[in-house]
Amino acid sequence: MKICYLNTLWHENKYGGGVWSYLHLLPQKLFSFGNDVTIITSGTNSDKVVNGIRVVSVGKVEVLTYKWQFFSPIFIYKRIRYIFRATSFILSENFDLVEAADGGFEHFLLVFFKKCPIITRMHGRTSGTKRIFFGKIFDAIENIAIRKSDGISIPSESYYKTIPSFILRKKIVKIIPYGIDLDFRPANLNIKKRYKLVGKKIVLSVGEVSYRKGFDTLLKIADSFKDRNEIVFVVLGAVNNKYFYEKIPPNVFILGYKPRNEVYSFLHQSDVFLSTSRFETFGIAVVEALMCGKPVVASTITGLKDLVKNGKNGYLFEVGDITEAKVNLLKILDNPERKKKMGKQSLVLAKSFTFEKVMQQTLSFYKEVVRNYENN
Using the predicted structure, report yes or no on whether residue 246 has a pLDDT greater than 80: no
What distance in Å separates the CA atoms of residue 142 and residue 123, rounded to the nearest whole number?
13
What distance in Å separates the CA atoms of residue 48 and residue 39, rounded to the nearest whole number?
10
**Contact present, 180 and 356 (Cβ < 8 Å):** no
Nearest to 283 by CA among 218, 232, 214: 214
pLDDT tens digits, residue range 262-319?
Answer: 999 999 999 999 999 998 889 999 999 999 999 999 999 999 999 999 999 999 999 9
**Contact present, 75 and 26 (Cβ < 8 Å):** no
Beta bridge partners of 119: 99, 151
**In CATH, 2-179+354-375 is 3.80.10.10:** no
Other beta carbons less than 10 A from residue 29's beta carbon: 19
pLDDT tens digits, residue range 62-80?
Answer: 655 555 555 677 777 888 8
Beta bridge partners of 39: 5, 55
Cα 189 from chain centroid (whole Å): 25
Fold of 191-352: Rossmann fold (3.40.50)
In this prediction, what percent of the chain has a pLDDT beyond 90? 58
Backbone angles phi, psi at 290, to 5 degrees: -60, -40
On the question of a common fold for 2-179+354-375 and 191-352, the answer reads yes
pTM over 0.85: yes
Buried b / exposed e along 69-100 (16+ C-beta atoms within 10 A): bbeeeebeebbeebbebbbebbeeeebbbbbb
- DSSP structural state of residue 247: G
Parse the chain into domains and list their residue ranges.
2-179+354-375, 191-352
pLDDT tens digits, residue range 153-168?
Answer: 999 999 998 888 888 8
Work out the pLDDT band at 43, boundaries 50, 70, 90. Answer: confident
Backbone angles phi, psi at 228, to 5 degrees: -115, 85
Work out the pLDDT band at 234, boundaries 50, 70, 90. Answer: very high
* Strand order, beta sheet including 53-59: 43-50, 53-59, 36-41, 2-6, 97-100, 118-121, 151-154, 172-175
Query: Under the phi-then-psi rule, with left for phi > 0, alpha for psi from -120 to 50, and beta for the rest, what region is 290?
Result: alpha
